[in-house]
Amino acid sequence: MSAPAPSLHSAEAKARAERLGLRLGKANLDVFAEALTELATADRNVLAVTSDSRGSGKLKPFGEALPKQIVEVGIAEQNLVGVAAGIASCGKTVFAVSPACFLATRSLEQIKNDVCYSDLPVALVGISAGVSYGALGSTHHSLHDFAALRAIHNVTVLAPADNRETRSSIRWAATHDRPVYLRFGKAALYDLSDEPAPRDPRVASLLRDGDDVALIGAGETVIHCLLAADLLAEHGVESRVLSIPSVKPLDESALLAAGRECRVVLTAEEHSEHGGLGDAVARLLLGAGMTPVFRGVAIPDEDTYTGSQADIFGRYGLSMEGIADRALRALDAARVVL
Amino acid sequence: MTRPALTDQHLRRKSAEYRRDVLRAIYHAGAGHTGGSLSCIDILNVLYNRVMNISPVNWRDPLRDRYVQSKGHSVEALYVVLADKGFYPFESLEKLCRGGSYFVGHPTRKIPGIEMNTGALGHGLPVSVGMAIAGKLDAASYRVFTLLGDGELAEGSNWEAAMCAAHYKLDNLTAIIDCNTLQITGATRDVCCNEPLDEKFTSFGWEVLCIDGHDVAELTTALSRPAASGKPTCIIARTVKGRGVSFMEGVVKWHHGVPSADEFAVAMAELEGALK
């Protein structure tokens, strides 16, 4: 199997990442599989439940090493979540793994009722999320999972941005006694810091400080925010970059500080413009009486554009260049004199 | 201390008491699913009083038997049986469907004795499969029972779970179909016919038994089968919707009809009469 494509798609972006000393790691999926194997090796009550997705979930070695700790339900996502809830109700730690595009809608009622309403500690793992399967068309884009899951009570929604945040999120989810949704893409990711990620993934990471513009990302858009900040510095713009691994609940103090201290707030997400990180942040800031110039970079509500993740990020301004351009125009709108 | 075994006659009397209590609770709440609660009472009676190892004493014991009421709309029957088993006082049912009450119109785990939140149909079998898989993984002796409505079987998730149960050879799992042949719109065979149910489950790899769902002796035999066949068991229990109240029996409008004061008096007289 070929190695996953790295998450950066332009030579300029790659060169900038290298200049910043960022190290290319693995796909979050690989880190997930490793971390889960580690946890399950130490505790036989840790299980994976998959819907014909052990290959795409990188769980084949897990299944070979720990055959009694993987439950395969076939291509049956509703049953996947119900079975996971039933197993969890018997005291086991369950990770239910399925492509995000199916898990977050085809199984939505099971997530709502069997897991969240019943308050069972199932970790729902949406793999190949966002536009990881970009070329496969709308059926395989998951641009709705933040919106769908945010609207359900009693679930934490996590989108780790790099391998560090992923390890931390998996370990946290394994011990958290409530429902968790984790979203992973397919691309190999750069580690965004040399610091260890917070042990509690509900805490945002401040990756760069500044007070002209706050660039706020979740999951695979964060690297593009970080590189855009470096590009913006060449224009004299000081950017604050926040990684928000937890789309719900939000790290309110970090976000309110950004809203209070920065003239522009920009969110970037691999999700529909409706119901995701941008809506959550805007609601938080407005509710607190803050009115910074706000821009939500996301996938617009239009007929599906297909192509690689890079193609789609490029089209909708989720690349380093697109985010920097949007931030500069927003600063103009804010009549900031540079 | 070993309690004396309940005779069939005792159980029949209990069913009559349960039906009276169900109707009383629904009448006072002004809401509830009357017909389906009355059709499944004998099934619950035999499960809780003769078959399952479950009581307020072992409620948190990992080795307890599990019961999941997939047809969650008949929760009034379950509430009454759990009250009788001592999970909470009967008076708790006075709060049925009241604002802020835990005694919601469908099962929730906030109520002692209830394993899983249900009510949306097609959910009980998959979660029961999960419980049975967990039991197999732990080589635990407990059994898992789930009660399905026949109309509910139109939900595709049931068939995903039915395949999965056979694949994993879950002979610790028993699905009981409260086959009262009616659903909210009319006869199940007219809404979306699912017959022949026995052949469907057999072809999915299950052991299938067809019994009279109001006969406590038949229910006892069917529900007490040893779990050693390597196959999950499906019990198709033929029942009558609204059983025990003459003007409700087999009448669709009592799916979730609440009796008027006059109807309540007539129904209670019939149900009390059955106790004599």
Q: Which residues of A touch B115 (CB under 8 A)?
A: 89
- Chain B residue with minimal CA distance to A110? B123
Contact by Cβ (8 Å): A160, A166: yes
Task: Report the run of H or E that residue B148 belongs to, with start and end.
Answer: strand B144-149
Tens of pLDDT, residue by residue over A98-110, are 999 999 999 999 9
What's the pLDDT tens digit per position in A167-178?
Answer: 999 999 999 999
Q: What is the pLDDT of residue A2?
A: 45
* Matching CATH number, B8-274, of 3.40.50.11540, 3.40.50.970, 3.10.690.10, 3.40.630.30: 3.40.50.970
What is the mean pLDDT of the segment spanning A16-26?
A: 94
- Angle (deg, nearest 10), helices A277-287 and A252-261: 70
Distance between B45 CA and the closest CA of chain A, angstroms: 24
What pLDDT score does A305 carry? 95
Give residue A46's identity as a one-letter amino acid code: V
Mean pLDDT of A44-64: 93
- The reply to whether domains A11-23+197-337 and A24-191 share a CATH topology is yes
Q: What is the pTM assigned to this prediction?
A: 0.96
Report the C-alpha gap between B120 and B97 in whole angstroms.
17
**Beta carbons of B242 and B256 less than 8 angstroms apart:** no
Main-chain dihedrals φ then ψ at residue A152, nearest 5 degrees = -105, 130
Residue A338 reports pLDDT greater than 50: no
Question: Residues of chain A with pLDDT > 70: what percent?
Answer: 97
* B262 pLDDT above the threshold of 80: yes
Q: Which residues of A touch B (CB under 8 A)?
A: 47, 68, 71, 73-74, 76, 78-79, 81-92, 109-110, 113-114, 117-119
Residue ranges of alpha helices (H) inside chain B are 8-29, 34-46, 75-85, 124-137, 156-167, 188-192, 197-203, 216-223, 261-275
* Arithmetic mean of pLDDT, A2-18: 77
Residues B268-273 have a mean pLDDT of 93
Nearest to A90 among B62, B126, B160 (CB): B62
Q: What distance in Å separates the CA atoms of residue A316 and residue B174, rounded to the nearest whole number?
A: 52
- Predicted confidence (pLDDT) at residue A220 exceeds the cutoff of 60: yes
Query: B179: number of CA atoms within 13 Å, CB side?
Result: 20
Query: Which residue among A76, A88, A91 places its CB closest to the CB of B164?
Result: A76
Name beta bridge partners: A215: A241, A266
- Please say if the pLDDT value at position B108 is more than 80: yes
Look at residue A7 in the predicted model and tell me its pLDDT.
66
Query: Any CB–CB contact under 8 A between B1 and chain A?
Result: no
Burial code (b: 16+ CB inside 10 Å, e: under 16) for A65-79 equals ebeebbbbbeebbbb
First-residue to last-residue Cα distance in chain B? 30
The answer, for B138 touching chain A at a CB cutoff of 8 Å, is yes
The dotted CATH code for A11-23+197-337 is: 3.40.50.920
Tokens representing B122? 């097609």
Of A86, A91, A119, the CB nearest to B128: A86
Which of chain A's residues have a Cβ under 8 Å away from the Cβ of B62?
90-91
Q: Which residue of B has its CA nearest to A113?
A: B117
Tell me whether B172 touches chain A (CB under 8 Å): no
Residues of A in contact with B108 (CB under 8 A): 117
Contact list in B for residue A114 (CB cut-off 8 A) is: 116-117, 123, 126-127
Query: Which residue in A76, A86, A119 is closest to B130 by CB distance?
Result: A86
Cβ-defined contact of B131 to A86 (cutoff 8 Å) = yes
Name the one residue in this structure whose structure tokens are 């050693």.
B228
3-class DSSP assignment, residue B141: coil
CA B177-B180-B185 angle, 5° bins: 115
A240-262: average pLDDT = 98
**CB neighbour class for B239 (10 Å; exposed up to 12, middle 13-18, buried from 19):** buried
Residue of A nearest to B117 (CA): A118
Strand duo B144-149 + A180-183: pairing: unpaired
- Residue A336: pLDDT band with limits 50, 70, 90: low
To the nearest whole Å, the CA of B110 is away from the closest chain A CA by 9
Q: What is the mean pLDDT of residues A67-80?
A: 97
CA–centroid distance for A152 within its chain: 17
Q: Is the pLDDT of residue B208 over 90?
A: yes
Q: Where are the domains of chain B?
A: 8-274
Pick the residue from chain A with its C-alpha nearest to B65: A90
Give how far A74 is from chain B: nearest CA, Å: 8
A120: nearest CA in chain B?
Answer: B116
Per-residue pLDDT at A3 exceeds 50: no
Q: What is the DSSP letter of B3?
A: P
Rounded to an integer, the average pLDDT of A130-154 is 95
A272-323 pLDDT per residue, tens: 999 999 999 999 999 999 999 999 999 999 999 999 999 999 999 999 999 9
A interface mutation test: which of B133, B138, B144, B152 has the most A CBs within 10 A? Answer: B133
Cα three-residue angle A141-A115-B147, rounded to 5 degrees = 115
Set of chain B residues whose Cβ sits within 8 Å of the Cβ of A71: 133
- 3 state SS for chain A: CCCCCECCCCHHHHHHHHHCCCEEEEEHHHHHHHHHHHHHHHCCCEEEEECCCCCCCCCHHHHHHCHHHEEECCCCHHHHHHHHHHHHCCCCEEEEEEEHHHHCCCCHHHHHHHHHHCCCCEEEEEECCECCCHHHCHHHCECCHHHHHHCCCCCEEECCCCHHHHHHHHHHHHHCCCCEEEECCCCEEEECCCCCCCCCCCCCEEEECCCCEEEEECHHHHHHHHHHHHHHHCCCCCEEEEECCEEECCCHHHHHHHHHHCCEEEEEEEEECCCCHHHHHHHHHHHCCCCCEEEEEEECCCCCCCCCHHHHHHHCCCCHHHHHHHHHHHHHHCCCCC
CB of B126 less than 8 A from some CB of A: yes
Q: Read off the amino acid at residue A256.
A: L
Nearest chain B CA: its distance from A90 CA (Å): 6
Size of interface A-B (CB pairs under 8 A): 96
Cβ contact A113–B123 (<8 Å): yes
Give the pLDDT of residue B134. Answer: 98
Mutate to test the interface with B, among A90, A98, A111 (most CBs of B within 10 A): A90
What is the pLDDT confidence band of residue A334, given thresholds at 50, 70 and 90? Answer: confident
State how far the alpha carbon of A289 is from the alpha carbons of A97, A204, A261, in Å: 40, 21, 13
State residue B211's pLDDT score. Answer: 98
Cβ–Cβ under 8 Å, residues B81 and B48: yes
The residues spanned by each domain of chain A are 11-23+197-337, 24-191
pLDDT level of residue A10 (50, 70, 90 thresholds): confident
Q: What is the mean pLDDT of residues B62-87?
A: 97
Q: Do A83 and B126 touch (CB under 8 A)?
A: yes
Is the pLDDT at A216 greater than 70, yes or no? yes
The residues facing A170 across adjacent strands are none
B41 touches chain A (CB under 8 A): no
Question: How many other C-beta atoms lie within 10 A of the C-beta of residue B272?
Answer: 12
Average pLDDT estimate for A184-198: 94
* Shortest Cα–Cα distance, B33 to chain A (Å): 20
Q: What is the pLDDT of residues B153-173, one digit of tens each?
A: 999 999 999 999 999 999 999
Chain B residues with CB under 8 Å of A85 CB are 116, 126-127, 130
- Note the pLDDT tens digit of each residue in B228-258: 789 999 999 999 999 999 999 999 998 988 9
Q: What is the C-alpha to C-alpha distance for residues A53 and A56, in angstroms, rounded to an integer?
A: 5
Q: How many CA atoms lie within 13 A of A163 on its CB side?
A: 19
> B59, B66, B106, B123: which to substitute to probe chain A, counting the most A Cβ within 10 Å?
B123
Mean pLDDT (whole number) for B194-210:
97
Q: Does B164 touch chain A (CB under 8 A)?
A: yes
Residue B151: CB partners within 8 Å, gap ≥ 6? Answer: B121, B182, B183, B184, B188, B191
Q: Mean pLDDT, to the nearest integer, of B87-92?
A: 95
Tell me the mean pLDDT in the region A19-32. 94
What is the rounded average pLDDT of the residues B52-72? 97
pLDDT at B107: 94
- The answer to whether the CB of B171 falls within 8 A of the CB of B232 is yes
Third-level CATH fold of A24-191: Rossmann fold (3.40.50)
Q: In this complex, do B137 and A68 lie within 8 Å of one another by their Cβ atoms?
A: yes
Q: Please, are residues A287 and A279 in contact by the beta-carbon 8 Å criterion?
A: no
Higher pLDDT, B4 or A272: A272
Pair of tokens at residue B111: 């109520």
Q: For residue A91, which residues of chain B lie inside 8 Å, CB to CB?
A: 62, 134
Residues of A in contact with B128 (CB under 8 A): 86
pLDDT confidence of residue A90: 98
Distance, CA of A299 to CA of A322 (rounded, Å): 13
pLDDT at residue A325 greater than cutoff 90: yes
